[in-house]
Amino acid sequence: MAKNRIVIDYGDKEELVLLTVRDNDIDEESLPTDLGFECVEKINKTIEEILVEKKREDFTNKEGFVVKFSDGFRVKVKYEEYFRLHKIMTGVNEKFVWEFLRDGKPLPLQNVPDEFFQYVTGVKERLESEYVEIDRRAQRAFIEVNNPAFTRKQFALTALSEYKDVASILFKMLEHKEYDQLIWKMIEPKVIDRPKFNSFRGTENV
pLDDT digits (tens, 9 = 90+) for 98-137: 998 999 988 877 656 666 777 888 999 999 999 999 999 9
Instruction: Report the pLDDT value the prediction gives residue 157, as an integer from 0 to 100.
Output: 94
pTM summary value: 0.56
Residue with more model confidence, 13 or 94: 94
Average pLDDT in the 37-44 region?
Answer: 72
- My answer on whether 118 and 73 are in the same domain is no
Q: Is residue 197 included in any domain, yes or no?
A: no
pLDDT tens readout for residues 67-80: 777 777 777 766 66
What is the domain extent for residue 124?
94-186
DSSP strand pairing (74-78 vs 64-68)? antiparallel
**Average pLDDT, rounded, for the chain:** 76
- Please check the confidence at residue 11 and state whether its pLDDT lies above 60: no
Q: Is residue 201 included in any domain, yes or no?
A: no
**pLDDT band for position 87 (50/70/90)?**
low
Contacts 24+ apart (CB under 8 A), 188-193: 188/95, 188/98, 188/102, 189/93, 189/94, 189/95, 189/98, 191/94, 192/93, 192/94, 192/95, 193/93, 193/94
Q: Is residue 200 included in any domain, yes or no?
A: no
Residue 76: strand pairing partners: 66
Q: Is residue 50 included in any domain, yes or no?
A: yes
- My answer on whether 112 and 169 are in the same domain is yes
Q: Tally the domains of the chain.
A: 2
- My answer on whether 98 and 181 are in the same domain is yes
- My answer on whether 84 and 98 are in the same domain is no
How far apart (Å, rounded) are the C-alpha atoms in residues 107 and 121?
9
